Amino acid sequence: MNTVKHIIFLAALGLLTACTTVAVDEMRWQETSLDLARDTVVILGRHHSPEYETEPELVSCIGNRLRSNMRGLNVIPEAEFVDLLYPWFEPRTAPLTMDKFIQVLDEPLIRDELIKHRVRYMIWVEGATETINQMGTMTCAIGPGGGGCFGFGSWENQSEYEASIWDFENTREAGRISTDAQGTSYMPAIIIPIPILARVQSNACEGMGTQLSAFLTPEAS
Partner 1 sequence: MMTDFRSIRLICAAMAIALPVFLTSCSSSFVVEANFPRPLVDPLPVAGELVLTEEFSNYVFIEDTETRDDLEVDISSAQVELFQTITSHIFGGSEIPENQLIITPALVDFQYAIPRETRAEVYEIWLKYRVQVTSNDGEPIADWLITGYGKTPTAFMKTRQESIKLATTIALRDVGSQLSIGFGRQPDIKAWLDRREEQS
Interface with partner 1 (CB under 8 A) = 47, 50-53, 55, 57, 83-88, 90-93, 109-110, 113, 128, 130, 144
* C-alpha count within 13 angstroms, C-beta hemisphere, residue 18: 20
* C-alpha count within 13 angstroms, C-beta hemisphere, residue 112: 3
In the complex, least distance from residue 187 CB atom to partner 1, rounded to whole angstroms: 14
For partner 1, which is the closer residue by CB, 6 or 48? 48
For partner 1, which is the closer residue by CB, 168 or 215? 168
| Nearest partner of 201 among 6, 9, 17, 13, judged by Cα | 17
CB 138 within 8 A of CB 154: no
For partner 1, which is the closer residue by CB, 53 or 99? 53
- 157 Cβ partners below 8 Å, 6+ apart? 129, 130, 131, 132, 182, 183, 184, 185, 198, 200, 201
In the complex, least distance from residue 37 CB atom to partner 1, rounded to whole angstroms: 27
In the complex, least distance from residue 4 CB atom to partner 1, rounded to whole angstroms: 30
In the complex, least distance from residue 87 CB atom to partner 1, rounded to whole angstroms: 3
For partner 1, which is the closer residue by CB, 89 or 166? 89
